[in-house]
Amino acid sequence: MVGNPMRLEPREQRSLAVILGYPLVALAVAAAFCAILVMFSGANPLSVFGLMVKGALGTQFAFLETLTRATPLIFTGLAAAVAFRAKLWNIGGEAQLYAGAVMTVVFGTGLLPLPWPVLIPVLMVAAMLGGAIMLSIPTFLKTRFGVDEVVTTLLINFIAILFVSMLLEGVLKDPMGLGWPQSKKVIADAQLGKLVQGKRLHFGFVIALLAALAIWVIDRRSALGYEMRAVGHNPKAAAFAGIPVNRVLAKTALLSGGLAGLAGYSEVAGLKGNLTLDLSPGFGYTGIVVAMLAMLHPLGVVAAAIFVAAVFVGADAMSRTAGVPSYIAHVMVAASLLCMVTAVMLTRYRLRWR
Amino acid sequence: MDAVEILFTASLWAAAIRIASPLIFATLGELICERAGVLNLGIEGIMTVGAFSGWLTVYMGGSLWLGILAAAVAGSAFGLLHALLVVPLGLSQHVTGIGITLLASSLSYYVYRLVFPEVTSPPKIEPFQPWNVPVLSDIPVIGEALFRQTPLTYLAFAAVLLVSWFLYRTPMGLAVRTVGENPSAVEAQGIDVTWVRIAAVMAGSALMGIGGSFLTLSAFNSFFFDMVNGRGWICIALVVFGSWRPGKALLGALLFGLFDAYQLRLQQLAGGYVPYQVFLMLPFVLSIIALIVMSRRAAYPRALMVPYRKGER
């Protein structure tokens, strides 16, 4: 018989060096893996990484671009973090983002001719509702019928994007769009202002920061935050302690879906102006990575989102000059995720070899 | 031709079986993983990596069968990574699986762009041709539908028999099933839970890789981005639909294939009246409905997603 050569032993105390060191080692391992891949392209990994850092943070333009890219990721990252805390496996951020975007263009392209101080909050609530409803369906199926929400949220992503495609070729199609599947632009009062004159960074970034702060407060200071963590930790024990597990999951779904819906609002009203089928290049899925890199901490999500956005923006800039395919960014983000979850495990447990 | 007449055409049934073939491989793969107690959400990415590596092998001059082998090896390599992270380390199977999907598909796209930096139309290979089974393929309708498929489709049906025989008739199959139901019972018999689970996930992932390669080596003749397009997630639904049994999973995949082939034909019929997106949505909607219907009776492997630590209860 071949024995399992290793076992895990809980660490009694975790030194600061372990808590900070392991995640850093994880990111270094992911970077080393990507360096090897870069070498296959014939480029020098160090100069490629240098170009990526420069392209993401090197100039004011680059840095603002990184923050612009980080904005939707903060929302979808928070959405994933909130849900995962309660062990509600919401993989449907993509669908919820598009639901928020659809609500934004339905109400924001002239249907509600309100001044901006009223219209913007109304649209934000509408977008949150869109995302919240989108996640409430699989959550209801989970609590009522015991259908695994991972599969349903994943499948709904595909349904949602096809639904948006149908709307953009149907009722939401811009008659002035020269036949392209795109919606009308949102009216000026619905738009979020730019943070820096003449640059792309918009007020959505500030909303994202406020959202992170709000989630942190809910998580730490409210009964709901406590209940969500209790349900995530052990639903049976939570139920035994009198916590209404299904109701907590429903509230979690509203919060998580709402956050992802806000990402849709912020992208349409702050950046793109209208809804197209390429509004999100996988922000919903990347949000999961962001949440895990942040170890589900709401404020950590902000840092993780900026890091992931920097990798993407840097890789785009680098691939234009160095000729390494920009898909290296996706590889790096995925590798970081796997290394990070391993590292976090190793901060809690010690590997023992026999 | 109206909507009912379509049902009696051989081409509909032939298409149904063709569409079902990759799903049969990948569903069997996921089924083996889950029977051993491991949810493998890497399936979508592992199918992508199988589609790509199989296609690249053939493009580089390898035979089609070598391409299948490459897809199986690449699939099981990612299966090994998934298994190492979730079995001995006990990481979250959800998060790790999504990570494997992201890693496997982005690696495929990266290498594709590395090998073909500036292609506008995807390079083509010579894929599997239909192989007519002597005598049987001459039976009207049935012969045309069943026995004029490519060799990979016949292999898919053979795989169902093989996996059933393995799971229910061999000691190793029994070990896999018990590891997913009651790991400590297996441990008591002197079988190592960790190794059985790792082996099961690798074998299952090899099948997922082959399922992916069906797309590039049999259904189409080139590799393109997002070509797996949710098939992996549908297979996860099919495993639940098939109550974790190979025969029922085959039935589910065939039903799904039939439905998909039928909606494609209805789409041409109803073109102009109903938006085509409605038809494209139907397979996903159907999967969700199937999950709801089956969930009442679902008999999950009891140790599914439960990490096993020796000596713990």
Q: Considering only the beta carbons, identify the residue of B94, B195, B287 that sits closest to A89.
A: B94
- Domain annotation covers residue A207: yes
- Average pLDDT for residues B214-229, to the nearest whole number? 92
For residue B310, the model assigns a pLDDT of 66
Q: Is the Cβ of A89 closer than 8 Å to some Cβ of chain B?
A: yes
Return d(Cα B189, Cα A7) in angstroms, integer. 20
For residue A109, the model assigns a pLDDT of 93
Containing structural domain, residue A22: 10-41+329-354
Q: Which two tokens stand for residue A285?
A: 């899925």
Q: Which two tokens stand for residue B230?
A: 């949710």
Please give the residue of chain A at the shortest CA–CA distance from B109: A327
- Domain annotation covers residue A90: yes
Which A residues, 131 through 170, put their C-beta within 8 Å of a C-beta on chain B?
Answer: 141, 145-148, 150-152, 154-156, 158-159, 162-163, 165-166, 169-170
HEC string of A202-232? ECHHHHHHHHHHHHHHHHHHCHHHHHHHHHH
Same-domain check for residues A83 and A31: no
Number of domains in chain B: 1
Is the Cβ pair B95, A337 closer than 8 Å?
yes
- Domain annotation covers residue B250: no
Same-domain check for residues A152 and A220: yes
Contacts of A77 in chain B (CB under 8 A): none
Is the Cβ pair A327, B117 closer than 8 Å?
no
Same-domain check for residues A119 and A174: yes
The C-alpha of B310 sits at a distance from chain A's nearest C-alpha, in angstroms, of 8
Return d(Cα B77, Cα B100) in angstroms, integer. 11
Same-domain check for residues A85 and A28: no
- Domain annotation covers residue B30: yes
Q: Considering only the beta carbons, identify the residue of B106, B240, B278 that sits closest to A327.
A: B106
To the nearest whole percent, how much of chain B has pLDDT over 90? 61
Return d(Cα A82, Cα A203) in angstroms, integer. 23
- Domain annotation covers residue B54: yes
- Domain annotation covers residue A351: yes
Question: Is residue B313 scored above 50 in pLDDT?
Answer: no
Say which amino acid occupies A273: G
Please give the residue of chain B at the shortest CA–CA distance from A292: B95
- Average pLDDT for residues B44-53, to the nearest whole number? 98
Question: Is residue B214 scored above 70 in pLDDT?
Answer: yes
- Domain annotation covers residue A243: yes
- Domain annotation covers residue A65: no
- Domain annotation covers residue A64: no
Question: Is residue B312 scored above 60 in pLDDT?
Answer: no
Same-domain check for residues A139 and A208: yes
Return d(Cα A300, Cα A306) in angstroms, integer. 10
Asked which of B69-78, B96-105, B253-262 is least confident by mean pLDDT, the reply is B253-262
- Domain annotation covers residue B294: no
On whether the CB atoms of residues B211 and B29 are closer than 8 A, the answer is: yes
Which A residues, 50 through 69, put their C-beta within 8 Å of a C-beta on chain B?
Answer: none
- Domain annotation covers residue B8: no
The C-alpha of A292 sits at a distance from chain B's nearest C-alpha, in angstroms, of 8
The C-alpha of B151 sits at a distance from chain A's nearest C-alpha, in angstroms, of 30
Same-domain check for residues A189 and A334: no
Is the Cβ pair B309, A8 closer than 8 Å?
yes
A250, β-bridge pairs: none
Containing structural domain, residue B116: 19-124+133-230
For residue A2, the model assigns a pLDDT of 47
For residue B311, the model assigns a pLDDT of 58
Which is higher by pLDDT, B97 or B275? B97
Closest CA to A82 of A46, A131, A31: A131
- Domain annotation covers residue B285: no
Closest CA to A10 of B85, B313, B309: B309
Number of domains in chain A: 2
- Domain annotation covers residue A60: no
Please give the residue of chain A at the shortest CA–CA distance from B102: A334
For residue B108, the model assigns a pLDDT of 97
- Domain annotation covers residue B241: no
Same-domain check for residues A14 and A75: no
Write b or e for each residue in B115-139: b if 16 or more Cβ atoms lie within 10 A of its Cβ, otherwise e: eeeeeeebeebebbeeeeeeeebee
3-state SS of chain A: helix, strand, coil percent to 5?
70, 5, 25
The C-alpha of A321 sits at a distance from chain B's nearest C-alpha, in angstroms, of 14
Question: Is residue B207 scored above 90 in pLDDT?
Answer: yes
The C-alpha of A195 sits at a distance from chain B's nearest C-alpha, in angstroms, of 33
Q: Is the dihedral of CA A95, A100, A106, A109 positive or negative?
A: negative
The C-alpha of B139 sits at a distance from chain A's nearest C-alpha, in angstroms, of 39
Which ipTM score applies to this complex?
A: 0.93
Give Cα B97 to chain centroid, integer Å: 15
Q: Considering only the beta carbons, identify the residue of B110, B191, B309 that sits closest to A37.
A: B110
- Domain annotation covers residue A299: no
Contacts of B85 in chain A (CB under 8 A): 338, 341-342
Same-domain check for residues A249 and A107: yes
Antiparallel, parallel or unpaired: β A6-10 and A349-353: antiparallel
Contacts of B285 in chain A (CB under 8 A): 159
Boundary (domain end) residue, out of A294, A319, A341: A294
Is the Cβ pair B291, A335 closer than 8 Å?
no
For residue B105, the model assigns a pLDDT of 96
* CB neighbour class for A258 (10 Å; exposed up to 12, middle 13-18, buried from 19): buried
- Domain annotation covers residue B245: no
Please give the residue of chain B at the shortest CA–CA distance from A163: B277
Is the Cβ pair A155, B298 closer than 8 Å?
no
For residue B131, the model assigns a pLDDT of 84
Q: Tell me B138's DSSP state.
A: G
Return d(Cα B156, Cα B172) in angstroms, integer. 21
| Sites in chain A below the pLDDT cut of 50 | 1-2
